[in-house]
């Protein structure tokens, strides 16, 4: 991934940009080959000769991607980055020699509106432009391109002392051409910006490199103008190749709120944490009954979902979906996440907001009766509502954090009334969400299925990790949901926690991090560190994680890169770095 904190692009190992949306993360893609074919848009720069070896890395402490390509006649370096947004978004690609003379080829296939619309291509004031409807792209380069089969192509040589550069810029089609940028100056400025940002990281410990890298991912997934953090820059990448669990993740989930705050604050990024808190307050403002599980980058509420038949899907994984209908679901856990995040903001010392507490009281007033309702749960099940145990636990968290806010910060509210509700929820969960015969909590009331979200019971302070019921739940998860050392969120096979969709998904990486956190709470440090190291080892060659993983094929699965996974990585690293007498700080610190 390369990005400018407003949108992002994905670059393949072969030097092809196969996904990019302009001007925002959730805008229509102009390169959509990732979810279709070459004719759905891509931008390829590669050697004419077949590469002998290709290696990639991010330039130290930046999100500038360097790809070294070796061929028989020599070697070149392809440098890809997006300058931090000033006016319009740019993608800069620089090809520089390493040794010898290397013949290169470039192919630019622009298709606006998610790979559907062929643009009008022309030369304007010495600049190559492509226009369709509201969108326009201009390409400036010292390499001459020409039209061929609805694409723009070029061949050029790179030799010692030579360097070739390309700058692709999006702009509204009704506007004049944007100002030129100097690609080498942009490279220096972008490098300095990322390094300056990275050096603010205050985390110190044995895993500083993966923590700092994950925090850069989180920064890149932040929509700068509002402070919202998207779950991923992609849509419809499958949770299993050829499957139907293909969702649009280019939105901001409330569920990530507390983990986001924790990760940013533990990394020393107070400014970003405050911006996220402000986005959260703006997004959930209004009637508490209208609280959604996710919002758009600016807090937009309507995220209609539809399918696009012209895209064949990643490895034929259909349907390809834009938008996300889950925004209409009832998911009780988000009430707990919002209350927890706002409490943590106070605990971390983020400047108080004068009307946040009034909003929180309204949220609790709505939740007083709503917590008893069945919902769709943390995994956004597209089927009948159920009394999910995790949802009830997070409703408990909502009241618990309100009580803690009164006790710790002197906030005003009906604390005795909230304590009574908290006690009622706790009693019900322990009575109806727990299977005494098997000594484990269950996915939902009166159902026997397991669910990895039950690992949050000790992490949010509902019960201590040493409680026999928690220990029994961990043992059951280890027995039934752990595959090849990683954690499934639940079983998708028919009759075993089916979510109404055909079977098939990978192990869920955030849940695997949660198990490591619980191990740490239990004093099983060797198990915790071993699992954490396995998770670090499955990052791709430039340190990125998706949402899921297939341990048999060794493939990352789902939308990519995934903020939830990188947030969980940061939190687990902090837990394992804590002093031995205070292990696994996570979200249960000072709670319960």
In a domain, 187, yes or no: no
Q: Which of 155, 175, 195 is the last residue of a domain?
A: 175
Torsional sign, CA 254, 256, 257, 260 = negative
In a domain, 388, yes or no: yes
- Both tokens assigned to 299: 């807090």
In a domain, 205, yes or no: no
Q: Are residues 119 and 163 in the same domain?
A: yes
Q: Are residues 112 and 260 in the same domain?
A: no
In a domain, 189, yes or no: no
Q: Are residues 466 and 517 in the same domain?
A: yes
Cβ proximity of 194 and 117 under 8 Å:
no
In a domain, 548, yes or no: yes
Report the candidate in 127, 107, 134 with the shortest Cα–Cα distance to residue 180: 127
User: Any idea which residue has 């990643």 for tokens?
Assistant: 314
What's the rounded Cα separation, in Å, for the pair 567 and 573? 10
In a domain, 199, yes or no: no
Q: Are residues 397 and 253 in the same domain?
A: yes
What pLDDT was estimated at residue 161? 87
DSSP 418-468: HHHHHHHHHHHHHHHSEETTTTEE-SBTT-----GGGGHHHHTTSS-TTSH
Q: Are residues 14 and 88 in the same domain?
A: yes
CA diameter of the chain: 78
Please give the model's pTM, rounded to 2 decimal places. Answer: 0.95
Q: Are residues 273 and 344 in the same domain?
A: yes
Per-residue pLDDT of the chain (592 residues; tens, 9 = 90+): 999 999 999 999 999 999 999 999 999 999 999 999 999 999 999 999 999 999 999 999 999 999 999 999 999 999 999 999 888 999 999 999 999 999 999 999 999 999 999 999 998 777 999 999 999 999 999 999 998 888 999 999 999 889 999 999 999 999 999 999 999 999 999 999 999 999 999 998 899 999 999 999 999 999 999 999 999 999 999 999 999 999 999 999 998 888 888 899 989 999 999 999 999 999 998 887 788 999 999 999 999 999 999 999 999 999 999 999 999 898 999 999 999 999 999 999 998 887 899 999 999 999 999 999 999 999 988 788 999 999 999 999 999 999 999 999 999 999 999 999 999 999 999 999 999 999 999 999 988 999 999 999 999 999 999 999 999 999 999 999 999 999 999 987 543 333 455 557 899 999 999 999 999 999 999 999 999 999 999 999 999 999 999 999 999 999 999 999 999 999 999 999 975 444 444 444 443 3
In CATH, what number is assigned to the domain containing residue 444?
A: 1.50.10.10
What pLDDT was estimated at residue 502? 54
What pLDDT was estimated at residue 503? 53
Q: Are residues 154 and 270 in the same domain?
A: no
In a domain, 380, yes or no: yes
In a domain, 188, yes or no: no
Cβ proximity of 83 and 14 under 8 Å:
no
Q: Are residues 38 and 164 in the same domain?
A: yes
Q: Are residues 165 and 261 in the same domain?
A: no
Q: Which of 156, 175, 194 is the last residue of a domain?
A: 175
Spatial CB neighbours of 526, under 8 Å, sequence gap ≥ 6: none
Counting the structural domains of the chain, the total is 2
In CATH, what number is assigned to the domain containing residue 149?
A: 2.70.98.10
What pLDDT was estimated at residue 501? 54
What's the rounded Cα separation, in Å, for the pair 334 and 341? 10
Domain span at 21: 2-175
Q: Are residues 133 and 216 in the same domain?
A: no
Q: Which of 175, 202, 223 is the last residue of a domain?
A: 175
């Amino acid at each position: 991934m390369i990005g400018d904190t407003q949108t992002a692009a994905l670059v393949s190992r072969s030097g092809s940009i196969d996904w990019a949306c302009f001007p925002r993360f959730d805008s229509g893609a102009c390169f959509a080959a990732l979810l279709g074919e070459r004719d759905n848009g891509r931008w390829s720069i590669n050697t004419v000769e077949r590469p002998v070896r290709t290696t990639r890395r991010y330039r130290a402490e930046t999100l500038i991607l360097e790809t070294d390509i070796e061929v028989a006649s020599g070697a070149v370096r392809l440098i890809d980055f997006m300058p931090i947004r000033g006016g319009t978004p740019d993608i800069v690609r620089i090809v520089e020699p390493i040794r010898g003379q290397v013949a290169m080829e470039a192919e630019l296939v622009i298709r606006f509106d998610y790979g559907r619309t062929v643009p009008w291509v022309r030369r304007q004031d010495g600049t190559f432009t492509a226009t369709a409807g509201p969108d326009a792209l201009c390409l400036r380069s010292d390499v001459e391109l020409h039209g061929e089969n609805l694409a723009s192509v070029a061949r050029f040589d790179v030799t010692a002392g030579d360097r070739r550069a390309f700058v692709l810029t999006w702009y509204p089609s009704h506007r004049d051409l944007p100002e030129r940028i100097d690609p080498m100056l942009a490279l220096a400025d972008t490098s300095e910006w990322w390094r300056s940002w990275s050096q603010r990281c205050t985390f110190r410990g044995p895993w500083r490199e993966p923590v700092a890298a994950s925090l850069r991912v989180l920064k890149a997934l932040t929509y700068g103008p509002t402070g919202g953090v998207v779950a991923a820059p992609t849509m419809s990448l499958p949770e299993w190749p050829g499957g139907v669990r293909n969702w649009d993740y280019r939105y901001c989930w409330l569920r990530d709120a507390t983990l986001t705050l924790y990760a940013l604050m533990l990394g020393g990024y107070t400014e970003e944490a405050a911006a996220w808190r402000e986005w959260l307050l703006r997004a959930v403002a209004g009637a508490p009954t209208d609280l959604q599980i996710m919002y758009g980058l600016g807090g937009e509420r309507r995220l209609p979902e539809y399918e696009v038949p012209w895209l064949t899907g990643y490895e034929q994984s259909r349907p390809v979906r834009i938008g996300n209908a889950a925004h209409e679901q009832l998911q009780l856990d988000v009430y707990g996440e919002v209350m927890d995040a706002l409490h943590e903001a106070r605990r971390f010392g983020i400047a108080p907001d004068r009307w946040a507490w009034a909003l929180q009281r309204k949220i609790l007033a709505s939740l007083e009766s709503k917590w008893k309702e069945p919902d769709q749960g943390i995994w956004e099940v597209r089927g009948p509502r159920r009394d999910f145990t995790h949802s009830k636990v997070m409703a408990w968290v909502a009241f618990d954090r309100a009580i803690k806010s009164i006790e710790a910060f002197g906030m005003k509210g009906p604390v005795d009334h909230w304590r009574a509700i908290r006690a009622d929820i706790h009693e019900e969960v322990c009575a109806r969400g727990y299977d005494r015969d098997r000594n484990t909590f269950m996915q939902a009331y009166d159902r026997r299925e397991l669910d990895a979200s039950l690992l949050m019971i000790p992490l949010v302070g509902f019960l201590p990790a040493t409680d026999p019921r928690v220990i029994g739940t961990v043992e059951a998860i280890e027995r039934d949901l752990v595959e090849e050392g990683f954690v499934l969120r639940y079983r998708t096979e028919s009759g075993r926690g089916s979510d109404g969709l055909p079977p098939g998904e990978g192990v869920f990486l955030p849940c695997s991090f949660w198990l490591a956190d619980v191990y740490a709470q239990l004093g099983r440090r060797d198990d915790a560190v071993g699992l954490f190291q396995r998770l670090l080892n499955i990052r791709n060659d430039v340190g990125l994680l998706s949402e899921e993983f297939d341990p048999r094929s060794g493939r990352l699965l789902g939308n990519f890169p995934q903020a939830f996974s990188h947030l969980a990585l940061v939190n687990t690293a902090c837990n394992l770095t804590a002093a031995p007498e205070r292990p696994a700080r996570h979200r249960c610190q000072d709670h319960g």
